[in-house]
Amino acid sequence: MYFRFRSSVVANRINPINDSSGLLVVNETGNLVLTSQNKSVVWSANLSKEVRTPVVLQLLDSGNLVLRGERDCGSEIYLWQSFDYPSDTLLPGIKLGWDLKTGLERRITSWKSPDDPFPGNFIWALERQDNPESIFWKGSKKLTRSGPWNGLRFSASSLRQNPDFNFSFVSNEDELYYTFDLIDKAVFSRMIYVTVPRDLCDTYALCGAYGICIISDMPVCQCLKGFKLKSRGYVDWSQGCVRDKSLNYSRQDGFIKFTAMKLPDATLSWVSKSMNLNECREKCIDNSSCMAYTNSDIRGEGSGCAMWFGELIDMRDFADGGQDLYIRMSASELVDQGAKGEPRTEIVVIVISTAALLAVVIAAGHLVHKRRRNIVEKTENNRETNEVQNMDLELPLFELATIANATDNFSINNKLGERGFGPVYKGTLVDGQEIAVKRLSKISEQGLEELNNEVILFSKLQHRNLVKLLGCCIQGEETLLIYEFMPNKSLNSFIFGPDQEKCKILDWSKRFHIICGTARGLLYLHQDSRLRIIHRDLKAKYASDGQFSIKSDVFSFGILLLKTISGKKNRGFYHSDKKLNLIGHAKHALSDFDVGQRDCVASAKATRLLGGQEIYQTRLFIKHA
């Protein structure tokens, strides 16, 4: 049995009573206790000192269960109150945050399950820092954050002032908390469940440092102006972005104003309520660690100063709100802006003197360009629509709603990876079948013709060592390819991954089995399939700017074989004595064989290179058997 107080708190969440014998009493010392059948104390209010005057336990209309002196009835002087210990419910009047005098923290914690109030993994808490903000946690992992308080609301919150609620934020020497009250006392309110993240861009640090999430773009992650993606080759937004031009870390730097922003993670930030924006800028430019600043209060014309130190993380674009943020940039990055981030006077003079002429020319050019663009786009759209309708796909077509449901609306938690064509997501169909969904980006170089080729090729290929294409979805602006899901992921994760236990799983027999399985799949593509196909994407990093052929596939397979056998990467491996990379080391080792053995190897390669049929080029997936 759990003892529950008007939904605002469950007293004994961790220590339930196994029967209905629980008794809540005020003992002889004035303390509120919960006892079980054998009179042992299951839970206690733990008052810091004995209360010698008569006490009263009272349930207020607000839902707050209070213990107070008999003489204090009608006042707000409490010995103990349940509002100080909320469980999974936020009621009007509950303070989410801190009593700084006593160190008491009030946070919201989920139930373990709908019928088990034991504390779950999800926590909503107000962070105690110079620039406070509320955070939603899953265990020790940040799910999403509200942004700092801007005088009206938490800056990344969707809550707005309305006729029913009044939101308040208090930060002083004694208290730090957020609360809300009912304007209309006839209305009842109880906040118990919140769905977070609200969308993909609400996911904490999705785009890494200096990355900005734009929910209307594809991909949603972009680098801020003046920055570029840090990772090379495989797209990894968790690494964030780096500057195009290095800072001087002096007053030679300047600032660029970014508008409609969700302010960065405020853990490493500082606030002054007395400074104005100009004073804030001067203080920031003089501190080499300061990377951005803005007003801490947006009411009226703005006031206060908030400064960020270190990398800027977890930013997004807010089309219907957000705040201005001034980010530190190299002087050479400011282009037509002065050292203080303000337009240069001489440039302003030139612009004014030529503005009229430019306006006429630009306006005329814009009208002509717009008309031509509309004609071209209309023609192009009609052409692509007709081509899609005429595609002989020869495989099932999935509804977009089916795939969206299978991937939890393309949730970031289901994302397997991302390359130039776009992201890949794991999904589960209604019948329980696991799938991998390749979501082609709008900016992908893979066009309709390439998509058509890939679909037709896959539909004609049947081999146990090739990943199956289960179907596709072409609906609106979405182009999706649906493959069977490979639960063991990439071979690289076993051979080169940080988890050494995975590497130990691949003994020699398994590696030999993988090599043979890959060879069978490649042989099928080159020789036994109805269409002769170049794989082109065995992930062995051969020259990407060479001509693709069966020869390049065989060479690539050889590199893959060496890597699988040795567990070493071609790049980054050097023989300690001869300073050879993996290929050079293998070639040197091969020279130790006699001529007959080398000729045998050469003959085997030559046999594989024969064939004069038409060759189709595409990217395919080979299962590692």
CA 114 from centre of chain: 28
* pLDDT for res 295: 97
Q: What share of the chain is helix, strand, coil (3-state, %, to 5)?
A: 25, 30, 45
State pLDDT tens for residues 446-481: 555 556 666 666 656 666 667 778 888 887 778 888
Residues 6+ apart with CB under 8 A from 314: 145, 204, 205, 206, 262, 264, 265
Lowest mean pLDDT among 71-85, 193-207, 209-223, 543-557: 543-557
pLDDT at 239 over 70: yes
Confidence grade of residue 501 (pLDDT, cut at 50, 70, 90): low
Q: How far is it, in rounded angstroms, from Cα 484 to Cα 176?
A: 51
Q: How far is it, in rounded angstroms, from Cα 59 to Cα 57?
A: 7
Q: Identify the CATH assignment for 400-484 out of 1.20.1050.10, 3.30.200.20, 3.30.230.10, 3.40.50.300.
A: 3.30.200.20
* pLDDT for res 357: 43
Q: How far is it, in rounded angstroms, from Cα 617 to Cα 615?
A: 7
* pLDDT for res 173: 92
State the number of CA atoms in the 13 A half-sphere of 290 facing the CB: 23
When pLDDT is averaged across residues 134-145 and rounded to a whole number, the result is 93
Q: How far is it, in rounded angstroms, from Cα 139 to Cα 17?
A: 26
Find, among 161, 213, 473, 453, the residue nearest to 319 by Cα.
Answer: 213
pLDDT at 68 over 80: yes
* pLDDT for res 15: 86
When pLDDT is averaged across residues 583-596 and rounded to a whole number, the result is 55
Q: How far is it, in rounded angstroms, from Cα 302 to Cα 83?
A: 34
pLDDT at 426 over 90: yes
Secondary-structure class of domain 87-198 per CATH: mainly beta
State pLDDT tens for residues 268-321: 999 999 999 999 999 999 999 999 999 999 999 999 999 999 999 999 998 767
Active site residues: 537
Q: How far is it, in rounded angstroms, from Cα 216 to Cα 337?
A: 29
Q: How far is it, in rounded angstroms, from Cα 447 to Cα 479?
A: 10
Confidence grade of residue 373 (pLDDT, cut at 50, 70, 90): low
Q: Which amino acid is at 268?
A: L
* pLDDT for res 534: 54
Q: How far is it, in rounded angstroms, from Cα 148 to Cα 188?
A: 28
Measured CA to CA in angstroms, residue 449 lies from 352, 391, 394, 441, 454 at distances of 49, 10, 16, 15, 9
* pLDDT for res 613: 31
Structure tokens at 263: 């302010």
When pLDDT is averaged across residues 538-559 and rounded to a whole number, the result is 59
| Annotated domain spans of the chain | 1-85, 87-198, 201-341, 355-390, 400-484, 491-617
Q: Are strands 211-213 and 315-316 parallel, antiparallel or unpaired?
A: parallel
Lowest mean pLDDT among 262-271, 360-369, 506-515: 360-369
- Token match 């947006």: residue? 298
Find, among 382, 449, 425, 428, the residue nearest to 618 by Cα.
Answer: 449
Cis peptide leading into residue 219 (ω within 30°): yes
- Token match 């469940």: residue? 193
What angle, rounded to 10 degrees, do the helices at 448-460 and 345-390 form?
40
Measured CA to CA in angstroms, residue 382 lies from 387, 546, 588, 617 at distances of 9, 36, 58, 27
* pLDDT for res 531: 56
Query: What percent of the chain has pLDDT above 70?
Result: 67
pLDDT at 79 over 60: yes
Q: 55 burial class (0-12, 13-18, 19+ CB within 10 angstroms)?
A: buried
Confidence grade of residue 73 (pLDDT, cut at 50, 70, 90): confident
The answer to whether the CB of 187 falls within 8 A of the CB of 354 is: no
Beta strands in 53-140 (DSSP E): 55-59, 65-69, 80-81, 96-99, 104-106, 108-113, 116-126, 133-138
Q: How far is it, in rounded angstroms, from Cα 158 to Cα 203?
A: 15
pTM equals 0.54
Measured CA to CA in angstroms, residue 77 lies from 11, 30, 56, 170, 596 at distances of 21, 15, 12, 20, 98
Q: Identify the CATH assignment for 1-85 out of 3.30.1300.10, 2.90.10.10, 3.40.640.10, 3.40.50.300.
A: 2.90.10.10
**Segment holding 89, helix H or strand E:** none
Cis peptide leading into residue 197 (ω within 30°): yes
pLDDT at 342 over 50: no
* pLDDT for res 612: 29
| Longest Cα–Cα distance in the chain | 106
pLDDT at 188 over 60: yes
pLDDT at 209 over 90: yes
Look over the chain and give the mean of its residue pLDDT values, rounded to a whole number: 76
* pLDDT for res 570: 59
